[in-house]
Structure 1
Amino acid sequence: MGIVVIGDVFIDVKGYSTSPYIPYGRNAGTVVQIHGGVGRNVVEDIANVELEPTFVSAVDDDSMGEDVIRKLDRHKVNTQYMKKVENGMGTWLAVFDHEGDVVGSISKRPDHKWIEQILDEHGDEIFKDADSVAIEIDLDKDIVKKTFAYAEKYNKKVYALVSNMSIAIERRDFLRKTECFVCNQQEAGILFSEDYENVSPEDLADILLERIRSATISKMVVTMGDKGAVYVDENGDKGVYPALKVDVIDTTGAGDAFFSGVCIGLTYGKTLREACAIGTRLSSTVICTSENICPRFMPEEFGLTR
């Protein structure tokens, strides 16, 4: 099964201003429509390291949904546990300024009952041969609950990321069961009810070590944009992995790519710092294109063996 990813598919409609963005005004630019969604992004990023992951998700029962599946198949993603159904995928409408930052967005979430149905029908066969499991921790609670139940049954490690932190903070009991939780600086502040905006990476590493021990979270990685990523584990391993300097076109999907690298590294035997190095390399390639496409790599480039 490789790494099993449980999450959403979205269609992203993105508008880019070609000059300084004027709020409430008319802005000339370009508009693109691409396949998105946190889960879909992660499974494709993992597949781009030739690791053949499995995706548990749903798409719309139309030509657009079929196109999503065909593309994932081409990337060697196992799509046998994807359903084609009504309202199977969401939509994200976003506007970016000339520096590649989001200035406004609206999203429509998909119907998650289909993912729960897939777990009910195929949970044992999906989890028993998985190398590890990656999940959006803010999916419907019953999906998250069943995921951790199957993971415990088959002794599989679960890696968690988030797309809506306001939901994720209600899942602290599940965060305690994760092998590693990955989020950004703002999300970490929400989780621990603190403001980390003006905290240095080195100071944040010290703070997070205390916080995860108190919250009984095993490992945590927090991304800080161009300041790099802070990593900590409950045994005292902590540090800062520097960001790579690249020309930023669009930051969408960078966090998903970083998470994918961390999940890949930890699943296949790397240290937390080495896993952050893989995540940093993957995320740096994604932000250099408006399509958020991670190039293809071979596992050997990261010293990986399955």
Structure 2
Amino acid sequence: MEKTFDVAVFGAVFVDIKGFPRDILIPKGTNIGSVKFKHGGVARNVVENLSYMGLKTRFVSIVDNSALGMEVLARLKNEKIDTEYVDIVDKDGMGMWLVVLNEKGDIAASVSHQPNLKYLYNIIDNHAEEIIKACNSVVLDLDFEASYIEKIINIAKEYNKKVYAVIGHLDVVKRNKHLFNRLDCLICNNIEFEIIAERTFETKEEVIEACRELTKSGLKKIVVTMGKKGSVYYDAETGEEGHVDIVPVKVIDTTGAGDSFFAGTVYGLISGYSLEKSVSIGTRIASLTISCKESTNPEIKQKMHIIVV
């Protein structure tokens, strides 16, 4: 019997090396604290969150043939994520992200070592059609060469699959901005949105007005996160627009908050909820993530009945 999935997620795996200071961070000093290795990467975080929320997920990626790579793969399988198209390579299959957090849990500095995406491109060249045919929706990391993003979108549109794209780096916004109009929903933060819109904004109303303009070329929905100001959204198909406040929690680590928000919002849309309800779900998922030291929070599995109320 052919396997079918709610969503297929295309993207790279990263290993996060996180430094937590014990006291107030001294940027140019030696800070006593703790250093931890965490499984990360935007796409990996997203697929794990979607699995926590109960969706049947397939991950399309690569890992290194190392103890760390096998640990990443084992965790994905343990969360019931399909890894048939996660290839194992000898070197540079995974990225590394070194980050230092301050005493408030916010990122103070980071360095990113990128994986070699040629291995992932090989999977797309050889298997993209069969992968996309077997799923209902597609999530892809925009940190690909434009030709591969277009290939995935073209196949998805051919088989009438919805496409949601997640932004990993600001450079991605500048490089692949021309592809946004082909997405079913663009979810980004206010900094990324200002680059996309090519201007700055002072109010939520100005952001919503810009969303109306940007959806005139084909993009169907836009969600913009604005930090402590919450999120705004606009749906060109229904005319639905508005704002969702944050859920106040004690912040432990903000890493992965954007990925969790994205996953929660996409979960809502895949599940048939309105854009407002979907953004509300994303907000609650993000609040759970920033209240723990991981890039994803497994407590989501036990709290979904509360989150979707």
State if a TM-score over 0.5 links the two structures: yes
Q: Which residue of 2 aligns with 1:289?
A: 292
Change (3 A) 1:18 1:3: same
2:274 corresponds, among 271, 274, 281, to 271
Code of the residue aligned with 1:291 in structure 2: it is E
The correspondence of residues 22-171 of structure 1 with structure 2, limited to 5 A, is 22-85=26-89, 86-171=91-176
Q: Which residue of 2 aligns with 1:195?
A: 200
1:232 corresponds, among 231, 234, 244, to 234
Matched-pair identity in %: 36
Q: Could you tell me how far 1:51 is from its partner in structure 2?
A: 1.2
Structure 1, 60-69 or 119-128: larger mean CA deviation: 119-128
Code of the residue aligned with 2:82 in structure 1: it is N
In structure 1, what is the Cα distance between the partners aligned to 2:300 and 2:226? 25
Aligned residues: 301
Code of the residue aligned with 1:234 in structure 2: it is A
In structure 2, what is the Cα distance between the partners aligned to 1:191 and 1:28? 40
In structure 2, what is the Cα distance between the partners aligned to 1:144 and 1:135? 8
Q: Could you tell me how far 1:83 is from its partner in structure 2?
A: 0.4
In structure 2, what is the Cα distance between the partners aligned to 1:48 and 1:71? 12
1:58–1:82 CA contact under 8 A, matched in 2: yes
| Secondary structure of 1:176 counterpart | helix
Per-residue Cα deviation, 1:108-167 (whole angstroms, up to 9, x for no partner):
110111111112222222111211001111222232122112112211110012011222
Q: Could you tell me how far 1:19 is from its partner in structure 2?
A: 1.6
Per-residue Cα deviation, 1:84-122 (whole angstroms, up to 9, x for no partner):
112111000011110111111101110111111112222
Q: Which residue of 2 aligns with 1:17?
A: 21
Q: Could you tell me how far 1:204 is from its partner in structure 2?
A: 2.4
The correspondence of residues 239-258 of structure 1 with structure 2, limited to 5 A, is 239-258=242-261
Q: Which residue of 2 aligns with 1:218?
A: 220
Q: Which residue of 1 aligns with 2:181?
A: 176
2:260–2:296 CA contact under 8 A, matched in 1: no
Structure 1, 16-25 or 56-65: larger mean CA deviation: 16-25
Code of the residue aligned with 2:242 in structure 1: it is G
| Secondary structure of 2:83 counterpart | coil
In structure 2, what is the Cα distance between the partners aligned to 1:105 and 1:96? 9
Following TM superposition, the consecutive aligned residue runs of length 4 or more in structure 1 with deviations greater than 3 angstroms are 298-304
| Secondary structure of 1:255 counterpart | helix
Structure 1, 35-44 or 160-169: larger mean CA deviation: 160-169
Q: Could you tell me how far 1:303 is from its partner in structure 2?
A: 5.6
Q: Which residue of 1 aligns with 2:9?
A: 5
Code of the residue aligned with 1:106 in structure 2: it is V
What's the RMSD between the two structures over aligned residues?
Answer: 1.7
Per-residue Cα deviation, 1:199-242 (whole angstroms, up to 9, x for no partner):
233442233323433x5422110111221111012243210011
Code of the residue aligned with 2:274 in structure 1: it is T
| Secondary structure of 1:80 counterpart | strand
Q: Could you tell me how far 1:27 is from its partner in structure 2?
A: 1.5
Code of the residue aligned with 2:35 in structure 1: it is V
Q: Provide structure 2 residue ranges, at least 5 long, that are not aligned to the other structure.
A: none
Change (3 A) 1:124 1:210: closer
Code of the residue aligned with 1:52 in structure 2: it is K
1:13–1:32 CA contact under 8 A, matched in 2: yes
2:174–2:196 CA contact under 8 A, matched in 1: yes
In structure 1, what is the Cα distance between the partners aligned to 2:192 and 2:65? 34
In structure 2, what is the Cα distance between the partners aligned to 1:200 and 1:221? 15
In structure 2, what is the Cα distance between the partners aligned to 1:49 and 1:218? 24
2:173–2:195 CA contact under 8 A, matched in 1: no
Q: Could you tell me how far 1:29 is from its partner in structure 2?
A: 1.4
1:165–1:191 CA contact under 8 A, matched in 2: no
Code of the residue aligned with 2:57 in structure 1: it is P
Code of the residue aligned with 1:61 in structure 2: it is N
Code of the residue aligned with 1:200 in structure 2: it is T
| Secondary structure of 2:187 counterpart | strand
In structure 2, what is the Cα distance between the partners aligned to 1:212 and 1:153? 21
Code of the residue aligned with 2:301 in structure 1: it is F
In structure 2, what is the Cα distance between the partners aligned to 1:108 and 1:303? 37
